[in-house]
Chains A and B, each alone.
Chain A
Amino acid sequence: MSFNLRPGVTAISEQVYDLHMTIFYICCVIGILVFSAMFWAIFHHRKSKGAVPAQFHESTKVEIIWTIIPFLILIGMAIPATKTLLAMEDPSDADLTIQVTGSQWKWHYKYFEHDLEFYSVLASDMEQVKGKLKKRDNYLLEVDHPLVLPVGKKVRFLMTSEDVIHSWWVPDFAVKKDANPGFINEAWTRIDKPGIYRGQCAELCGKDHGFMPIVVIAKPEDEYASWLAEQEAAYLAKQAAEQELVAMTMDQAELMELGEKVYLKSCAACHQPNGEGLPGVFPALKDSPIATGAVSQHIDVVVNGVPGTAMQAFGKQLGLKELAAVISYERNAWGNDTGDLVQAKDVVAVQNAAQ
C-alpha cells in the first residue's frame, strides 16, 4: 500500500498531487512552529522547575500579526488551487464522450459516438468475499467488462444514475464525480500512460456499496481503434443473434441451468441465493405472488423494473436468452414449481406490448 496520494497519470492528477504536497508541507511547518513553542513551554515553564508565571495576557500587536500572516498564507494556497480547479472544470473540446450510469451495484458505459454499450460488474465472486475461495490479487478491484479508453485523447464523462447517488472515482485520473439520478454531471480526463487503472464507487449507495469497483484500461490509440472495431462488430452481431432467438425454443434443463447462473450473478445480491430475500428490505421470490402468478406480469417486472423501488429494469442488461432463462428459473426453483417455461419470444411479446 502506498501511504500517500499517487501522482496519477494525467496532467491534472499531477497538479492535484503537487497541490496536496504543498499544502501538506505548509501545514507541517506551521505545526512544527506551534508545537515547538508549546513543548518549549511544557519543558521550561514547569512549576516543578520553579517557573514563576508572567503577568502578560494580551497584546494587540501580536494578535494582529498572527491573524494577518495566516491570511497571507491562505492567499498563497488559494492561487494554485484556483488555477487547478478552473482547469479541472473545463470539459470543452472533448475527443470522445462516455456516458457513465450507476445503478445498484454496477456501472453502465455507453460510447456516445459508437454502437457500443455494456455493463461492468464486480468480478470477484461471493465465495472469495466469504473466505471460501482464495482472494485474487485484485480482490474487489476487478470487473467483468472494464472501460477501455484511448491514451492522449480528451475523454468527457457524462455521469448519471438510475436509482440512488453513486460516485465514479478513479484516483489515478483525479476524477471523482457523483452520478445523480435524474441529472447529468460532467467530468473529463486525458490519460498520459497506457495501463490498467482501478477505482471504486465513493458514495454510500446501499448494501453492496463496497462491491462496485471501476476498472479502466488505457490503450494506445491504434490498439484502442482495433479494440473498438472488434467490440462494435461483436455488439451488432449479438443484437442480430438476439433477433434469431425469438424463433427458438429452449428445453427445461437448458433454461434452468442458464437461469441459475444468471440468477446468481444478477439477482442473488438482493433476493438471496435461496430466493428468500431479506425480510423488510428485498422481497422473497419463493412463494411470491409475482413468481407464481401471471407469467406476463413476472416478465414485465424483470424487463421493466418496478419504478420507485430497488427493482431495476433488466431488459437492457440481460440478453433475451438470459431473461427467458432467469424468469423460468425463478418460476421453478425453491419449490415454486409452476412448470412455466418462458421463451425468448414471450419476453419480446411483453417488450412489444409495453411499447
Chain B
Amino acid sequence: MSTMSELHAEHEEHHHAPRGLMRWVLTTNHKDIGSMYLWFSFTMFIVGGAMAMVIRAELFQPGLQLVDPNFFNQMTTVHGLIMVFGAVMPAFTGLANWLIPMMIGAPDMALPRMNNWSFWILPFAFSMLLASLFMEGGGPNFGWTFYAPLSTKYSPDSTALFVFAIHIMGISSIMGAINVIVTIMNLRAPGMTYMKLPLFVWTWFITAFLLIAVMPVLAGAVTMVLTDKYFGTSFFDAAGGGDPVLFQHIFWFFGHPEVYIMILPSFGIISAIIPAFSRKKLFGYSSMVYATASIAGLSFLVWAHHMFTTGMPVQAELFFMYCTMLISVPTGVKVFNWVATMWRGSITFETPMLFAIAFIVLFTIGGFSGLMLAITPVDFQYHDTYFVVAHFHYVLVTGAVFSIMAAAYYWLPKWTGKMYDEGLGRLHFWCSLISVNVLFFPMHFLGLSGMPRRIPDYALQFADVNAIVSIGGFAFGLSQFIFLYMVIKCIRSGEPAPAKPWEGSEGLEWDALPSPAPYHSFSTPPEVK
C-alpha cells in the first residue's frame, strides 16, 4: 500500500523543475527563496558595509581627506537605507522562508508564487537606489530618515529613484508579511496550537502584523515627498500650509515600529538557541509571547521620542517619555527569562551559543542606553549625537545582526546537510565581538562629549577616539569575510550532519526532518502531541 509520502516522492521524481539560472528565477520553493534572500542580504551587508568603511576612513582623522561633504552625506544615507531594507529585513525574511514551514510542519509557504515576486523585486529596488549614486547630483544625501524640507526642496534629482526604490522595498516587505501570516494561520500541522508554536514563529507572526501596519505609512510619507518635490504640493512646506514636523510624525510612526520589526525575530532566534545549548526548556514561554506582543503594541505609541527637540507641548513630551520607558519592562522580562533558561542548565559553547550570549549582553547594553534616551530632559543632550549612533548600532548590529549570525550557524547543518568548521566559527565570533565593541563602545563617549551625528569633519578633541572607532570598523568589516569563507567551506566540504546535530535542540525541523531537509519540507503533516 503506498502512503501519501511515497506518492509524493514519486511525484517529485517526475517533477520537471527548470534547471540552471531559470531554476532560481522561477522557483516557488521556500528553501530556494530563503537562500536567495540570505545571499542577497549578505551581499547588501557587504555593500552597505563598504559605505560604512568610506565613512570611517573619512573620519579617521580630522579634516577632509577622501570625500567631499556631499558624497559623505550620500554614504551615510545609502548605508542606512541598505542596512535597514537590504541587509537586516531580507535576512529575517530569508530565515522566515527557510524555517517557518519546517517549524510548523508545512510543505512550503502558503503563497509560493507571491513569495517568488516578493524576493525578485528587491534586486531591482536596490539596483535603482545604487544607480542613483551615479546620477548627476548624486544619490540621496538627506539621511536615511530623509526629513523634509531637506528631502523635498533641497534634494538632488535622484530623489525620484529613491522614492520608487522605497516603494518597491515596501511592497516586497508587505508581500513577505502576508505570506508569513497566511502560512502560520493555515498550514500548521495537526496539534500545533498557537501556544505550541516555536517562539521564532511567534515573533515573526507579530512582526508580520507590524509590517502590514506600518509599511503603508512609509509609502504615504515617500509619496508625499515625491509630490512635494515634483508636483507642487506642500504637505511639508509651511509657506503652502504644510508642516515640516508633520513629515517626522508620519515617518516615525512608521520608523519606530520598524526598529521592532528588526529586533523581534531576533528574540525568537535567541529563544531557540539559548535552550538548545543550555539543554533546558525555555523559561517562561507564555510570558515571552505576551512580552513580544506588548512590545509590538507599545511600539505604536512612542514614535515622538525621536522628535523631542522638534518642539512639542510638554504634556506630549511627558506622555511619550512614560510610554517609552515602559517598553523596558517587557524587554527586561525577556532578558531575565533567557538568563533563567541558562541558570542551572548544562551549557556548551558552540558558535551559535557564543553569538547568542553576546547578543544578550550587548543588546542589553543597547537597551540601557535606550532607557537613558527615553528620559526626555537628558535626551535633549543625547539627541542627534554619537550617543544615539552607539545606541542603535548596539541594538541593530550586536542585536539583530548577531542574532542572524547565530541563526545561520545554528541552522546551517539543517540547510546544507553538512557541519560547518567550528574553529572558523569561533574565530569569526571572537574577531567580530572584539572589533564591534572597539567600533561602537567609544561612540558613547563621542556623543556625551558633544560630537553631532552625520558630520564629515569634527573638532580636534574628538580625533583620538574617532581613530580608535575607525580601526574597530575596519576590523569588524574584515571579520565578516571569515563568515563568508566558513559558509562556502561548509557547503563544499563540510562533514555530513546528522538530523539533529545539537543535543538539546527541539522542534519539528530537528525531530521530523533529515539534514539536509527535503526539497518540500513536509509532504505529510506530522502529528504534534
Q: For the complex, what is the distance from the CA of A87 to the CA of B99, rounded to whole Å? A: 52
- Determine the chain B residues whose CB is within 8 A of the CB of A139 once the complex forms: 62, 459-460
Closest beta carbon of chain A to B202's beta carbon, Å: 16
Interface of chain A residues 161 through 186 with chain B (CB within 8 A): 163-165, 167, 169, 171, 174-178, 180-183, 185-186
Minimum CB distance partner of A1 in chain B: B461
Q: For the complex, what is the distance from the CA of A347 to the CA of B136, rounded to whole Å? A: 34
Interface assignment of B138: CB less than 8 Å from any CB of chain A: yes
B156–A35 touching, CB < 8 Å = no
A176–B309 touching, CB < 8 Å = yes
A202–B137 touching, CB < 8 Å = no
Which of B28-36, B322-330, B404-412, B420-428 is near enough to bind chain A?
Answer: B322-330
B149–A163 touching, CB < 8 Å = yes
A70–B329 touching, CB < 8 Å = yes
A85–B460 touching, CB < 8 Å = no
Interface of chain A residues 233 through 255 with chain B (CB within 8 A): none
- Determine the chain B residues whose CB is within 8 A of the CB of A309 once the complex forms: 153-154
Q: For the complex, what is the distance from the CA of A82 to the CA of B141, rounded to whole Å? A: 37
Q: For the complex, what is the distance from the CA of A82 to the CA of B377, rounded to whole Å? A: 8
> What 1/0 mask marks residues of chain A from 6 to 48 whose CB sits below 8 Å from any chain B CB?
1000001001100110011001001100110110011001111
A71–B329 touching, CB < 8 Å = yes
Q: For the complex, what is the distance from the CA of A37 to the CA of B460, rounded to whole Å? A: 42
Q: For the complex, what is the distance from the CA of A48 to the CA of B346, rounded to whole Å? A: 8
A141–B459 touching, CB < 8 Å = yes
> What 1/0 mask marks residues of chain A from 184 to 207 whose CB sits below 8 Å from any chain B CB?
011000000000000111111111
Interface assignment of A335: CB less than 8 Å from any CB of chain B: no
Q: A177-B311, A203-B147 are in contact. Are A23 and B372 (CB under 8 A)?
A: yes
**A209 interface neighbour in B336, B339, B454, Cβ under 8 Å:** B454
B380–A174 touching, CB < 8 Å = yes
- CB contacts between A and B, total, < 8 Å: 298
> What 1/0 mask marks residues of chain A from 76 to 114 whose CB sits below 8 Å from any chain B CB?
011001101110110000000000000010000000000
- Determine the chain B residues whose CB is within 8 A of the CB of A210 once the complex forms: 69, 452, 454-458
- Determine the chain B residues whose CB is within 8 A of the CB of A66 once the complex forms: 332-333, 336
Closest beta carbon of chain B to A2's beta carbon, Å: 5
> What 1/0 mask marks residues of chain B from 363 to 407 whose CB sits below 8 Å from any chain A CB?
011001001100111101101110000000000000000000000
Q: A66-B333, A85-B314, A204-B147 are in contact. Are A3 and B381 (CB under 8 A)?
A: no
Q: For the complex, what is the distance from the CA of A41 to the CA of B453, rounded to whole Å? A: 39
Interface assignment of A349: CB less than 8 Å from any CB of chain B: no
Interface of chain B residues 295 through 346 with chain A (CB within 8 A): 309-311, 314, 317-318, 321-322, 325-326, 328-329, 332-333, 335-337, 339-346
A48–B339 touching, CB < 8 Å = no
Interface assignment of B121: CB less than 8 Å from any CB of chain A: no
A4–B70 touching, CB < 8 Å = no
- Determine the chain A residues whose CB is within 8 A of the CB of B462 once the complex forms: 1
Minimum CB distance partner of B291 in chain A: A67
Interface assignment of B478: CB less than 8 Å from any CB of chain A: no
A181–B149 touching, CB < 8 Å = yes
- Determine the chain A residues whose CB is within 8 A of the CB of B318 once the complex forms: 82, 85
- Determine the chain A residues whose CB is within 8 A of the CB of B465 once the complex forms: 1
A47–B348 touching, CB < 8 Å = yes
A20–B346 touching, CB < 8 Å = no
A183–B283 touching, CB < 8 Å = no
Q: Which of A1, A54, A57, A89 has the most CB of B within 10 A?
A: A1
Q: For the complex, what is the distance from the CA of A209 to the CA of B347, rounded to whole Å? A: 50
Q: For the complex, what is the distance from the CA of A279 to the CA of B347, rounded to whole Å? A: 60
Interface assignment of A51: CB less than 8 Å from any CB of chain B: yes
A46–B372 touching, CB < 8 Å = no
Interface assignment of B285: CB less than 8 Å from any CB of chain A: yes
A202–B283 touching, CB < 8 Å = no
- Determine the chain B residues whose CB is within 8 A of the CB of A180 once the complex forms: 238, 244-245, 310-311
B150–A135 touching, CB < 8 Å = no
- Determine the chain A residues whose CB is within 8 A of the CB of B157 once the complex forms: 280
Q: For the complex, what is the distance from the CA of A77 to the CA of B373, rounded to whole Å? A: 12
B332–A70 touching, CB < 8 Å = yes
**A45 interface neighbour in B65, B68, B347, Cβ under 8 Å:** B347
A280–B459 touching, CB < 8 Å = no
B348–A46 touching, CB < 8 Å = yes
Interface of chain B residues 128 through 156 with chain A (CB within 8 A): 135-138, 141-143, 147, 149-150, 153-154, 156
Q: For the complex, what is the distance from the CA of A139 to the CA of B463, rounded to whole Å? A: 12
Q: For the complex, what is the distance from the CA of A58 to the CA of B368, rounded to whole Å? A: 26
Q: A47-B348, A88-B377 are in contact. Are A34 and B335 (CB under 8 A)?
A: yes
B357–A85 touching, CB < 8 Å = no
A4–B448 touching, CB < 8 Å = yes
A203–B384 touching, CB < 8 Å = yes
Closest beta carbon of chain B to A61's beta carbon, Å: 12
**B336 interface neighbour in A34, A85, A206, Cβ under 8 Å:** A34
Number of interface residues of A (CB under 8 A): 101
A53–B449 touching, CB < 8 Å = no
**A178 interface neighbour in B150, B309, B328, Cβ under 8 Å:** B309
Minimum CB distance partner of B286 in chain A: A58
Interface of chain A residues 275 through 311 with chain B (CB within 8 A): 278-281, 307-310
B65–A131 touching, CB < 8 Å = yes
Minimum CB distance partner of B314 in chain A: A89
Closest beta carbon of chain A to B458's beta carbon, Å: 7
Minimum CB distance partner of A183 in chain B: B238
Interface of chain B residues 483 through 505 with chain A (CB within 8 A): 504
B244–A181 touching, CB < 8 Å = yes
Minimum CB distance partner of A201 in chain B: B452
Interface assignment of A140: CB less than 8 Å from any CB of chain B: yes
B459–A57 touching, CB < 8 Å = no
Q: A81-B321, A203-B147 are in contact. Are A51 and B380 (CB under 8 A)?
A: no
Interface assignment of B195: CB less than 8 Å from any CB of chain A: no
Q: A31-B365, A176-B383, A199-B450 are in contact. Are A308 and B153 (CB under 8 A)?
A: yes
A209–B455 touching, CB < 8 Å = yes
Closest beta carbon of chain B to A53's beta carbon, Å: 4
- Determine the chain A residues whose CB is within 8 A of the CB of B518 once the complex forms: none
Interface assignment of A138: CB less than 8 Å from any CB of chain B: yes
- Determine the chain B residues whose CB is within 8 A of the CB of A24 once the complex forms: 372
Which of B10-18, B42-50, B87-95, B273-281 is near enough to bind chain A?
Answer: B273-281
A57–B346 touching, CB < 8 Å = no
Q: For the complex, what is the distance from the CA of A41 to the CA of B348, rounded to whole Å? A: 11
Closest beta carbon of chain A to B160's beta carbon, Å: 13
Q: For the complex, what is the distance from the CA of A222 to the CA of B135, rounded to whole Å? A: 57
- Determine the chain B residues whose CB is within 8 A of the CB of A279 once the complex forms: 136-137
Minimum CB distance partner of B377 in chain A: A84
- Determine the chain B residues whose CB is within 8 A of the CB of A6 once the complex forms: 449
> What 1/0 mask marks residues of chain B from 228 to 250 whose CB sits below 8 Å from any chain A CB?
00000000011100011100000
Interface assignment of A115: CB less than 8 Å from any CB of chain B: no
Q: A48-B348, A74-B328, A182-B238 are in contact. Are A37 and B339 (CB under 8 A)?
A: yes
Interface assignment of B190: CB less than 8 Å from any CB of chain A: no
Interface assignment of A354: CB less than 8 Å from any CB of chain B: no
- Determine the chain A residues whose CB is within 8 A of the CB of B65 once the complex forms: 131
Q: A1-B464, A138-B459, A177-B311 are in contact. Are A204 and B150 (CB under 8 A)?
A: yes
A182–B459 touching, CB < 8 Å = no
Interface assignment of A211: CB less than 8 Å from any CB of chain B: yes
A16-B377, A182-B237, A278-B137 given; 16 more Cβ-contact pairs under 8 Å = A3-B445, A16-B381, A19-B375, A20-B378, A31-B364, A45-B278, A52-B346, A54-B344, A74-B329, A89-B314, A129-B63, A163-B153, A164-B150, A178-B309, A182-B244, A310-B154
Interface residues of B (CB under 8 A from A): 62-65, 68-70, 73, 135-138, 141-143, 147, 149-150, 153-154, 156-157, 237-239, 243-245, 278-287, 309-311, 314, 317-318, 321-322, 325-326, 328-329, 332-333, 335-337, 339-348, 357, 360-361, 364-365, 368, 371-372, 375-378, 380-381, 383-385, 445, 448-450, 452-462, 464-465, 504
List the 9 closest pairs (A to B, CB-CB), nearest first: A280-B137, A182-B238, A210-B455, A280-B136, A185-B311, A57-B281, A54-B344, A27-B368, A84-B377
6 A-B residue pairs with CB within 8 Å: A45-B278, A81-B375, A140-B459, A163-B149, A163-B153, A177-B311
